[in-house]
Amino acid sequence: MLKKNFEVYIVCVCMALLCYACSNDDNGTDPVMEPSAQFLGEVDWVKNFGGTGEETAQSVIKTNDGGYAVLGFSNSTDGDLMGKTLAVNDYWLLKLNAEGELQWSKTYGGSKDDRGQSVIQTNDGGYAVTGYAMSSDGDGSNNEGFHDNWILKLDASGTIEWEKSFGFSGHDHSYDILQTADGGFFFVGFLDVTSAREDGFEEKGNSLTRHGVGEFWATKISARGAMEWRRYFGGTNNDRAHAVVQSDDGGFVMTGFSESSDFDIKNSRGSYDFWVLKISQEGELVWERSYGGSGIEISKDIAKTDDGAYVIAGNTFSTDLDISKNNGESDIWLIKVDDAGNLLWEQTIGGSGFEDAQGITLSADGGFLISGNSKSADLDANANAGENDIWLVKTDSKGAPVWQKSFGGSGLDFGFDAIENEDHSVLLVGQLGSEDAPNTTLKGMTDLMVIKIK
């Protein structure tokens, strides 16, 4: 059976390469290829959840029982949020079965603005969620100022086991979390270091008080949420970490963006750069690299590849330095770097309008799945239903697009995360703002959107 599957795979690959070569001979362009036989690229089903207010999905994972968990936030008190009492943003966690049917959902928060960003399933079958919160009541026990990093550990049914907030008097956000081998957790985001200094936080000493607006902030906590260590990295201006993966040696590789050109940033490329740094499992800086052009680049997500390297996705406005081309206003920019931070390759994807990547994940065929949004209907994007569409792009192992599809209507629709199933189908989540999107009826101002593509 393995031999037969392998032969089928080889035939599919050869046919795809032949189509690509023939198409290049015909017109000299780099077209998007048709999907492989294992992935049809067809919509299987679409689900939207919410009330009459605003909902969004930010993160999705495959769960141990074959279903899915989706995290986002909501300010509705009706519809699928019946029982929620305050029209303010709360973390919103939904548990779906394999067919997208809602099994249960829970909200977490208080009387202020609380926004869930990332969910993982923990070793014990429960969940850990992170984001940023302003509440010190309801489910939240403490808040030091504006937004704090807010971490919750949940059991398998979504019941809170413990919750902890980390922050100072400013805006401190968390965007991504992972579980470490010791059962603890590591999460990243940004620290409002100016406010932290005013609160007496002097981790790096008085000589570095000029560190600026925001810093990459990395925090290691125990399995029960006790802080073990925290570090911040950055320069004088605005620097924010959006995502993290753990390296093979137990360290952590963080990505985001930097506006700075001093202190921890040694080789700034332009206005805003992809900024990637690796720290040891004790939090010591191993290396840092800036990637980009003379314009603005912002990275949103990172995934570790099977060869121990990293792929990083975001967007670019530049046409020079590390960026080989730009198709329009903003393109998705995908780069691969090795475990020492060396740039292995880069790829821009987009049309003449505005494109942005929010999430990236590995595909079983060695390529990548990019979730984001598009305003184009040309070049790499062949359709657009309106102002802004959810956009899913499938690439090969070098980042070249092999399939893409947009979803949405005439309003503002955004894709934030996607995962691949064992049968090569894809689950894509985001935010629906269009009243005329196919196969949906908008419930409120914006809905949490779940799409399965087979």
Specify the CATH number for the domain of residue 295. 2.120.10.10
Whether 25 and 82 map to the same domain: the answer is no
Specify whether the CB–CB gap between 149 and 166 falls below 8 A: yes
Whether 26 and 86 map to the same domain: the answer is no
pTM: 0.89
Weakest mean pLDDT among 10-14, 234-238, 270-274: 10-14
Question: Residue 95: what pLDDT?
Answer: 98
Whether 132 and 241 map to the same domain: the answer is yes
Whether 345 and 254 map to the same domain: the answer is yes
Dump pLDDT digits (tens) for 15-69: 343 333 343 433 333 444 444 448 899 999 999 999 999 999 999 999 999 999 9
Other CB atoms within a 10 A radius of the CB of residue 441 amount to 8
Other CB atoms within a 10 A radius of the CB of residue 359 amount to 26
Whether 128 and 235 map to the same domain: the answer is yes
Number of domains comprising the chain:
2
Is residue 405 in some structural domain?
Answer: no
Whether 14 and 94 map to the same domain: the answer is no
Whether 27 and 66 map to the same domain: the answer is no
Element (H, E) at 53: none
> 373 exposed, middle or buried (CB, 10 Å; 0-12, 13-18, 19+)?
buried
Whether 8 and 157 map to the same domain: the answer is no
Whether 302 and 209 map to the same domain: the answer is yes
Antiparallel, parallel or unpaired: β 68-74 and 90-96: antiparallel
Of 356, 371, 400, which residue sits at a domain end? 400
* Amino acid type, 354: F
Helix (H), strand (E), coil (C) string for 284-330 = CEEEEEEECCCCEEEEEEEEECCCCCEEEEEEECCCCCCCCCCCCCE
Whether 136 and 200 map to the same domain: the answer is yes
Residue 429 above 60 pLDDT? yes
Is residue 454 in some structural domain?
Answer: no
Structural domain containing residue 150: 61-400
Among 264, 263, 267, which residue's Cα sits nearest to residue 278?
A: 264
Query: 450: helix, coil or strand?
Result: strand
Whether 379 and 300 map to the same domain: the answer is yes
Whether 95 and 225 map to the same domain: the answer is yes
DSSP strands (E only) in 97-238: 102-108, 114-121, 127-133, 148-154, 160-166, 173-179, 185-191, 215-221, 227-233
